[in-house]
Amino acid sequence: MTTLAAPPTSLSKDEILRYSRHLIMPEVGMEGQLKLKNASVLLVGTGGLGAPLGLYLAAAGIGRIGLVDFDVVDFTNLQRQVIHGTKDVGRKKLDSAADKMADINPHVQIEKHEVALTSDNALDIIKNYDLVIDGTDNFPTRYLVNDACVLLKKPNVYGSIFRFEGQSTIFAYPGGPCYRCLYPEPPPPGLVPSCAEGGVLGILPGMIGLMQATEAVKLILGIGEPLVGRLVLYDALAMRFRELKLRRNPECPACGDHPTVTKLIDYQQFCGVPGHEAPPTPVAASGDIDPIEVKQKLDRGDKFTFIDVREPHEYQICKIPGTKLIPLGELPKRLNELDKNSEIIAHCKSGVRSGKAVALLTENGFPYARNMKGGILAWSDKVDPSVPKY
């Protein structure tokens, strides 16, 4: 049967009914709907951006959709990752997303890639799709997806979000710029907070993800003006869209006239992620203290200053009694409130910011500063389960 591999040239009666609102528009029509059916799209990430993308691209009738994810649904995802439901908590995101998409449209072929995209597998996975949609959440994967798309000449529909702001554009479109033209280098680790650290308005990835979905469908249909060479910035608080010009850089190491990135590199190292070439974090292990030990000290009535270096709005969510709130950003100006000769124990949400606080205190002549390991999350696990986790 040679027809198995041949692209479909017609729609079934069920599909004609399903896609009726597309078919009656001349810009899509039967020809366009068949383009969608014959198209393949790779969604990298099925989280905030991937959720609306998966739902709408399945509904639109994209013939084959690949999903890349290795994560499991948890409660903190549900505020924005609308492809997953409360009943899916604990399931693989791939399974949860694929089930939902198959329910929306059983005509879509869904391919699950349960891996972290790496330099070893990216080209093999991406080469099987017409275009890529980047819905990841970290710089190493962003640069990896970019370089792989440039090398394979696959358009990369980009979107990223932070708190109330989002960015979107198309990279690696023939003649257009790539991610490295926009940002030649990543920020050093820790300088730009992630959504897990900085928070994100739950609706925001819906807006940006659907801008990406729109651009993907337009690229496949070959209609309208693609978002190439333009970076759209969206500010939810102002409800304002702005557009900046984006140019292909002839000197770009990936897509320039004389590219030097001719194969995939070590992106963790490129982005200076600790554990590779970067220097170790300044947190001294000897300065760490376990929450249980802190509780024992409190119970014994030991004299020490217990500081919380989180932000005031986090302090409102939950706090440990007896702590003094000094947000990390204010600490340099508030050192005079602390006693250099007494023991100071710092905590935050998970121990990262308080690690920085202890490093800062140590540098400024506070020899008895210690970091409570695992932050208030660990306190909730080990000492007082009535403290809510967030």
The site for another protein (CB under 8 A) is made up of: 45, 47-50, 71, 77, 81, 134-139, 142, 159-165, 167, 182-187, 191-196, 198, 200, 205, 231, 233, 237-238, 242-247, 329
Shortest distance in whole angstroms from residue 236 CB to another protein? 10
Joined together, the tokens standing for residue 136 give: 């990841």
With beta carbons less than 8 A apart as the criterion, state whether 177 and 149 touch: no
Amino acid at 10: S
Rounded Cα–Cα distance for residues 274 and 288 (Å)? 19
DSSP summary character for residue 340: T
Which residue is catalytic, options 195, 255, 271, 318?
Answer: 195
Q: Quick check: is 178 catalytic?
A: no
Shortest distance in whole angstroms from residue 352 CB to another protein? 17
Rounded Cα–Cα distance for residues 176 and 155 (Å)? 10
In this complex, which beta carbon is closest to another protein, that of residue 198 or of residue 282? 198
Shortest distance in whole angstroms from residue 198 CB to another protein? 7
Shortest distance in whole angstroms from residue 247 CB to another protein? 6
Instruction: Report the relative pairing of strands 109-113 and 64-68 from DSSP bridges.
Output: parallel
CA angle at 71 for the pair 348 and 205, rounded to the nearest 5°: 75
What's the sign of the alpha-carbon dihedral 66, 68, 70, 76? negative
In this complex, which beta carbon is closest to another protein, that of residue 56 or of residue 139? 139
Rounded to the nearest angstrom, the gap between the alpha carbon of residue 84 and the centroid of all alpha carbons in its chain is 16
In this complex, which beta carbon is closest to another protein, that of residue 106 or of residue 198? 198
In this complex, which beta carbon is closest to another protein, that of residue 159 or of residue 351? 159
Residues comprising the chain, all counted: 390
Pick from 142, 149, 93, 144: which is nearest to 120 by CA? 144
Pick from 233, 250, 121, 97: which is nearest to 176 by CA? 250
In this complex, which beta carbon is closest to another protein, that of residue 41 or of residue 320? 41
The DSSP code sequence of 137-165 is -SHHHHHHHHHHHHHHT--EEEEEEEBTE
Q: Which helix (H) or strand (E) holds 316?
A: helix 312-317
Shortest distance in whole angstroms from residue 239 CB to another protein? 13
With beta carbons less than 8 A apart as the criterion, state whether 331 and 357 touch: yes
Q: Radius of gyration of the chain from Cα atoms?
A: 25
Q: Quick check: is 255 catalytic?
A: no
In this complex, which beta carbon is closest to another protein, that of residue 7 or of residue 329? 329
Shortest distance in whole angstroms from residue 182 CB to another protein? 7
Tell me which residues are annotated as active site: 195, 348
